[in-house]
Amino acid sequence: MNNNTRPDAQVTIEMVDPASLVLADNVRSTAALDQAFVASIKEHGVLQAITGTRDDNGQIRVRYGQRRTLAAIEAGLGAVPVMVVQATGDDADRIVQQLGENDHRQDLSAADRLGAYEQLAALGLTAAQITRRTRRPKAEVQAALTVTGSELAAKAVGRFEFLTLDQAATIADFDDDPDTVKLLTVAAREGQFEHLAQRLRDDRDRDQARTALVEQLTGQGVNVVEQPAYDDATVRPLHRLAPTHGGAPFDADGHASCAGHAAYVTVSPRWADDDTGREVRVYEAQATFVCTRWKAEGHVDTYARGSDAKPKAAALSPQQREQAKAERRDVVESNKAWDAAEPVRRSWVAQFLTRKTPPKGTASIVAHLVTQHGDALSTVGGDHLAAEWFGLTPASYGASTGWGALIDKATEPRATVIALGRLLAGCEKDTSRDSWRRVSPRTSAYLRFLAANGYDLSEVEKRAAGLTKKK
């Protein structure tokens, strides 16, 4: 039994000036205070009484509640509740009891927190009011309220304790697809959740862009076909077809009356500036007009020369053809995987650079990039991306509120983080779909540095980092 709570122990509750309390020995070497905790103490007071013992001089020595005491002092409270108990046991008892007091606490589960936010919203509090009154991160509150709007996501939070509210909010975005929800739930437990979620978002955005263009083309009477295989000799794009030898290639309007007139749709990503000047990834669909009867219609392939007129694939063995198809599938899948990894990686780095002190390996990576890859600073778009990561707007780049002000206000450690971020942005902007095909020393160093600091590389990023062999 805890000696401080035995039936014959004297216990009193007193309101005491926190500044008068003495911080006795504690198993906590430091009492780290965050601003949200101090703000909560300032607004609500100390909700759980501090526990202390009274010494021979009449002073109360804090046994449990070191952080609450310091936060109350910083918040300027004049009095806090203190449960004063009889001092019993020796230092060994104190240490064991302090360990137990900290070790056997249980944080609220995501389901518990979700229920609390849902009740606050039902009482009429907005997301902003819940954020302010609970001192919880805005993103967490918004994620929770998103989950409350999805029966499937809310049930998943209650059933699977490993799900975070952020992950549940992502699941809510796909709650019309139970199979996708299952995939995401497994990824939340086993890893690579963000990469899978982004891949699924990309697939959805890609499908939406493609569907919109297909509907537009079919509405115009254009026959939409699948993109032909690389060795398909029956389909030719119009830019390489002409009505006669030496004639000008067809355009879509001039070929529209042909019985073989058709188009296939491809979708590709690009980064574009939004209304605030920040980069966002968008998917654009493009139509490639083709003829599916070019030989029957007597069209001329202007690219064919002598033996080149015959499809090269015809000379391949069945094994070679299968290998070529496998390599093509790898290219398509790896390109999609790289596209999905890119925003996940950028988001992680942006959050990573909010730190006040340099991460491990900073001096080494900075020296490596400056001495061996100095052009990382001149990479087109690197400055723009770095500014975005540090919360600057394009209009402030050269203004007093831009880089200069950011650096002037920074401590020495924080200034090092800013310099690191600028170099990392140059490395990031130098990456592309080619990165996974050919290992670049700069990209490899960049990705390995991120991995060493906690970023979970996807399989395609491991290939770009030179950590896995080419398939």
Q: Is residue 197 part of a domain?
A: no
Answer yes or no: is 323 within a domain.
Answer: no
Question: Do residues 153 and 227 both lie within one domain?
Answer: no
With 0-12 / 13-18 / 19 or more C-beta atoms within 10 angstroms meaning exposed / middle / buried, residue 170 is buried
Inside any domain, residue 322 = no
One-letter amino acid for residue 139 of the chain: A
> Tell me, what's the pLDDT at 419?
94
Q: Do residues 407 and 415 lie in contact, with contact meaning Cβ atoms separated by under 8 Å?
A: yes
Residue range 136-146, pLDDT digits in tens? 889 899 999 99
Residue 384 forms part of a structural domain: yes
What per-residue confidence (pLDDT) applies to 79? 92
How many domains are contained in the chain?
4
Same domain, 258 and 373: no
| pLDDT score for 206 | 94
Residue 159 structure tokens: 């059933």
Q: Is residue 288 located within the same domain as residue 226?
A: yes
CB of 309 closer than 8 Å to CB of 301: yes
Does 28 fall in a domain?
Answer: yes
* pLDDT score of 98: 59
Residue pair 160/134 in contact by the 8 Å Cβ criterion: no
- Please report whether residue 321 resides in a domain: no
Residues 444 and 362 in one domain: yes
Confidence at residue 12, expressed as pLDDT on a 0 to 100 scale: 86
pLDDT at 135: 82
Same domain, 264 and 350: no
Q: How far apart are CA 108 and CA 111, in angstroms?
A: 8
Q: Which of 280, 315, 350 is the last residue of a domain?
A: 315
Q: Which amino acid is at 48?
A: Q
Residues 303 and 343 in one domain: no
Domain boundary among 71, 103, 135: 103
Rounded Cα distance, 229 and 49, in Å: 72
Based on the domain organization, do 34 and 137 belong to the same domain? Answer: no
Q: How far apart are CA 296 and CA 70, in angstroms?
A: 87
Location of structure tokens 């007193």: 14
Euclidean distance between the first and final Cα of the chain, in Å? 62
Residue 469 lies in a domain: no
pLDDT digits over 59-80, tens only?
898 888 888 889 899 889 999 9
Distance, CA of 263 to chain centre: 36
- Contact of 153 with 175, CB cutoff 8 Å: yes
Strand partners for 286: 266
- Co-location of 16 and 69 in the same domain: yes
Greatest pairwise CA separation for the chain in angstroms: 110
Which residue, 315, 346, 361, sits at the end of a domain?
A: 315
If asked whether residues 337 and 457 sit together in one domain, one would say: yes
DSSP string, 93-147: HHHHHHHHHHHT--PPPHHHHHHHHHHHHHTT--HHHHHHHHT--HHHHHHHHHH
Amino acid at 15: M
pLDDT at 245: 85
The residue range of the domain holding 60 is: 3-103
Distance CA 212, CA 202 (A): 15
If asked whether residues 382 and 455 sit together in one domain, one would say: yes
Task: Mark whether 286 and 310 lie in a shared domain.
Answer: yes
DSSP assignment letter at 226: P
pLDDT in tens, the chain (471 residues): 344 444 455 788 889 999 999 887 765 656 677 788 888 888 888 888 988 888 888 889 888 888 888 989 988 999 999 989 877 666 576 566 656 666 656 567 888 888 888 888 889 999 999 888 888 889 899 999 999 999 999 999 989 989 999 999 999 999 999 999 999 999 999 999 999 999 999 999 999 999 999 999 999 999 999 999 877 889 999 999 999 888 899 999 999 999 999 999 999 988 887 777 777 889 999 999 999 999 999 999 988 764 444 445 556 677 877 887 888 888 989 999 999 999 999 999 999 999 999 999 999 999 999 999 888 888 777 888 898 899 887 655 554 457 888 898 999 999 999 999 999 999 999 999 999 999 999 999 999 999 999 999 999 999 999 998 665
- 447 and 390, same structural domain? yes
Q: What is the pTM of this model?
A: 0.71
**Within a domain: residue 470?**
no
